[in-house]
Amino acid sequence: MGSKNAAELLRGAKLIVAPDTFHIVALHHDEWERVLADPELSPQMKSEFLIFKDKWEVTLVVDDRDLVGLRPGLAGAKVESGFRLLSFDAELEFDVVGFMAEIAGILAAEGISILPFSSFSRDHLLIRQTDLASALKAFRGRVDEVC
């Protein structure tokens, strides 16, 4: 089991705010296949990027540049815009319990909705641009550094 609890790990983390604005795109599987088949539509992935496929849909998280390139292939897609990406630079082992719950609790207390996700060793979340200042204020004193 990890030697530090979630709150301690968060206190030692660096909170990184990506400079780009992000969009969440939901596509039907057949629409995603058409996007992949056309190199002109395929995302360039110059910034942070996410593809998640489940049995219901394909979800993309893309920046402004990729959304412009994808737009011609998104006729049936749902798009939500105006998100900022917050990444917690704290390398997490798989036995850490409650790290995202700690983050979610801090933001829930401020009435901030999140879309959390994880990479192999770090946690990330998307929040609306309009909530960014409140979120950063909520993390003041709870993370090692904000950049």
**CATH number of the domain that 107 lies in?**
3.30.2130.10
Tell me the pLDDT band of 76, cut-offs 50, 70 and 90: confident
Domain range spanning residue 97?
Answer: 6-20+83-146
Same domain? 106 vs 89: yes
- Summarize the confidence of residues 7-19 as an average pLDDT: 95
Q: What share of the chain is helix, strand, coil (3-state, %, to 5)?
A: 30, 30, 40
Instruction: Answer whether residue 54 is part of any domain.
Output: yes
Which residues on adjacent β-strands are paired with residue 53? 58
Residue 128 has pLDDT above 60, yes or no: yes
Determine which of 69-73, 111-115, 128-132 has the lowest per-residue pLDDT on average: 69-73
Same domain? 120 vs 132: yes
Same domain? 71 vs 91: no
Same domain? 43 vs 95: no
Predicted confidence (pLDDT) per residue in 22-39, tens digit? 999 999 999 999 888 988
In 3D, which of 39, 12, 1 has the Cα closest to residue 102? 12
Task: Give the C-alpha separation, 33 to 130, whole Å.
Answer: 33
Q: Are 83 and 24 in contact (CB under 8 A)?
A: yes
CB atoms within 10 A of CB 19: 9
Residue 1 has pLDDT above 50, yes or no: no
pLDDT given at position 136: 97
Determine which of 35-44, 84-93, 116-125, 132-141 has the lowest per-residue pLDDT on average: 35-44
